[in-house]
């Protein structure tokens, strides 16, 4: 009950919205199959985030393709669930959460692969094009 009140106050779940009685089992199965944050690969304070919120798309609440694992453990100084799942405010909906995770993972992979070798202008342009950000 205390968790429910906290989620309502943070804006994570609107007042009056009820989860399916099967949610707990679906969540457990998702975390078993996806035990790391999709963004930072953390394993603490994991949240199963609905890409399309269950309060606006109740038919997708238990759909595995509508779920993504994100954490709130502040790895690298960020709350992955808040940043990517909600664009900095739990009242926001980010339908592009999966794309954003892929974009950030590509950026981090590129950064890590060039620790001693700065990227050429061509590789920066390719990354920008691949992530559709226009600039890196």
User: Tens digits of per-residue pLDDT, 99-108?
Assistant: 999 998 898 8
12 located within any domain: no
Q: Quote the mean pLDDT of the chain.
A: 81
47 located within any domain: yes
Q: Which residues contact 94 (CB under 8 A, 6 or more apart)?
A: 84, 85, 86, 87, 100
Residue 68 pairs in a beta bridge with 49
One domain, residues 128 and 79:
no
Report which of residues 84 and 128 the model is more confident about: 84
The pTM for the full model equals 0.71
One domain, residues 59 and 111:
no
One domain, residues 76 and 107:
no
Residue 134 is classified by DSSP as S
Query: What is the rounded CA–CA span in Å between residue 70 and residue 115?
Result: 26
Q: DSSP letters along 44-104, please?
A: SSEEEEESS-TTT-GGGTT-GGGEEEEE-S-GGG--HIIIIIHTTSTT---TTHHHHHHHH
11 located within any domain: no
> Residue 135's pLDDT is what?
42
3-state secondary structure of 21: coil
27 located within any domain: yes
64 located within any domain: yes
Range of the domain at 115: 97-136
One domain, residues 109 and 132:
yes
One domain, residues 75 and 104:
no
One domain, residues 41 and 69:
yes
Q: pLDDT tens for residues 34-86?
A: 999 999 899 999 999 999 998 889 999 999 999 999 999 987 788 999 999 99
Q: Work out how many domains the chain is built from and give that number.
A: 2
One domain, residues 42 and 107:
no
Please, how many CA atoms are within 13 Å of residue 73, restricted to the half-sphere of its CB?
Answer: 17
């Amino acid at each position: 009950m205390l968790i429910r009140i906290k989620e309502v106050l943070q804006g994570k779940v609107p007042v009056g919205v009820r989860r399916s009685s099967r949610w707990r089992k679906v969540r457990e199965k998702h975390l078993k199959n996806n035990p790391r944050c999709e963004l930072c690969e953390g394993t603490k304070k994991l949240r199963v985030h609905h890409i399309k919120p269950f309060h606006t798309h109740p038919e997708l609440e238990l759909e595995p393709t509508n779920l993504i694992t994100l954490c709130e453990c502040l790895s690298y100084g960020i709350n992955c669930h808040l940043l990517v799942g909600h664009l900095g405010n739990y009242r926001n909906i980010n339908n592009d959460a999966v794309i954003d995770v892929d974009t950030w993972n590509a950026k981090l992979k590129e950064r890590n692969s060039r620790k001693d070798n700065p990227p050429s202008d061509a590789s920066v342009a390719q990354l920008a094009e691949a992530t559709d950000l226009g600039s890196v």
